[in-house]
Amino acid sequence: MKVLIINVVCGIRSTGRICTDLAEALEKAGHEVRIAYGREDVPSRYEKYAIRIGSDTDVRNHGVKARLSDACGFGSRKATEKFIDWVKTYNPDVIHLHNLHGYYINIEVLFDYLRTCKKRIVWTLHDCWAFTGHAAYCDYANCSKWKTGCSQCPNRKEYPASFRDCSNRNWVKKKVILTGIPNLTIITPSEWLASLVRESFLSQYPVAVIPNGVDTSVFKPLAGNAKERLGIGEKKIVLGVAALWEKRKGMDDFLRLVTMLNKDFRIVLVGLSAKQKELLPEGIIGIERTDSAGELAEIYAAADYYVNPTYEDNYPTTNLEAIACGTPVITYDTGGSAESALLYGTKVKKGDIEAIAALINGDGPELKADPASCREAVDYKTMVKRYLDLYKQAES
């Protein structure tokens, strides 16, 4: 069986690692797989799978078009046409879509092909962008216009940011472009996102939930020297991890939390920019983004609590990584974040940083399971097995 996976990145960050986890499992099972990606570098071990869509120039031009005309997903036409020519030659049995936003692929060209290609199509949604007129997420703005028709998007200035609001045009176009595709199944990692899909114009498709997973041979309890490297001695660690720290990820909440914790704790934030590190107050240690899973696992394992004060999220991989390393999770009841946190941790009301501080300064959350019993649930092998079962339907 030939499988083609399409995602904005390959082998890096959460969606990119999900794609390469699938690719390695497919290869071990005797299948052929390629990952078509749009931007950034590919780790050397995954280059054998990687097929680049377009170029850096295409991404920049698409990004400019999106910024000026609110047209994310509607640039990169020539690059996508060239890619589709390659797809026809490669002739996969299964096409597995992941994130299509990111200024690298044209959804009109892609779905024109998918409509008539007679392939088995799986589409894993990692956010809400597919069924909105602009935004990747809507709950922070408490917006539900996407159910009937977007307009005057409250998230216009958020990714994918635009000077203009064309959310109604985009919603109408997406509804036409993305519906009526034969043999397409939608997968979401969380029950939360599945429930939104069923209220959107994508509700015509079968929707199944396959939770994401992580490599538990890498993310596991470790006896490393992370505390020594961080220079915090015997202090306890409250950890936060994000690919991009911003308000919706809870950056401001950590700045409040540090003033509430007792002297036994230090906050460690991974994924900060150099400028953000310079502005950190006393009590918070900043680390820039790392794509080294081993280094990240050491930090997770050294932490006493993993705190995820996210205001918009689907099924955060960082929660799974923390649990796999034996670190309990405390998160806001946001999107699908609580679904994973409750495996080994707890949730609090969105925005209730005082409740998080009380838990940490007290005895911590009441844990209903031990971390060892949760490892199978968060192991990517569990996720991969379910995807392979889905792919096999293409062979029957």
pLDDT digits (tens, 9 = 90+) for 122-144: 999 999 999 999 999 998 899 99
Specify the 3-state DSSP secondary structure of 253.
helix
**255, pLDDT greater than 60:** yes
**394, pLDDT greater than 70:** no
Give mean pLDDT, residues 31-41: 97
pLDDT single digits (tens) 46-104: 999 999 999 999 999 999 999 999 999 999 999 999 999 999 999 999 999 999 999 99
Q: Which of 203, 107, 208 lies closest to 147, judged by CA?
A: 203
Q: For residue 395, what pLDDT is reported?
A: 60
Q: Which of 180, 182, 119 lies closest to 395, judged by CA?
A: 119
Q: For residue 133, what pLDDT is reported?
A: 98
For each of the domains in the chain, give its residue range(s) and CATH number, in order of start: 2-213+380-392 (3.40.50.2000), 226-378 (3.40.50.2000)
Q: Which two tokens stand for residue 153?
A: 């998007």
- pLDDT band, residue 366 (cuts 50/70/90): confident
pLDDT single digits (tens) 141-195: 999 999 999 999 999 999 999 999 999 999 999 999 999 999 999 999 999 999 9
pTM of structure: 0.92
Over the chain, what is the mean pLDDT? 94
365 CB contacts (<8 Å, ≥6 apart)?
Answer: 328, 330, 345, 346, 359
The 8-class DSSP code of residue 49 comes to T
Strands 236-241, 265-272: parallel, antiparallel or unpaired by DSSP? Answer: parallel
In contact, 95 and 2? CB cutoff 8 Å: no
Specify the 3-state DSSP secondary structure of 54.
coil
User: How many Å apart are CA 323 and CA 337, to the nearest integer?
Assistant: 13
Q: For residue 290, what pLDDT is reported?
A: 79
User: How many Å apart are CA 345 and CA 337, to the nearest integer?
Assistant: 11
Locus of tokens 């602009």: 134
- pLDDT band, residue 306 (cuts 50/70/90): very high
Locus of tokens 């925005």: 351
Q: Which of 317, 313, 303 lies closest to 364, judged by CA?
A: 303
- pLDDT band, residue 225 (cuts 50/70/90): confident
Angle, CA of 283, 287 and 293, to the nearest 5°: 130
Which of 11-20, 99-108, 373-382: highest mean pLDDT? 99-108
In contact, 340 and 316? CB cutoff 8 Å: yes
Give mean pLDDT, residues 346-351: 96
**396, pLDDT greater than 60:** no
Beta partners for residue 308, in sequence order: 331
Count of other CB atoms within 10 angstroms of residue 311: 21
Q: DSSP alpha helices (H): ranges in 140-210?
A: 167-178, 191-197
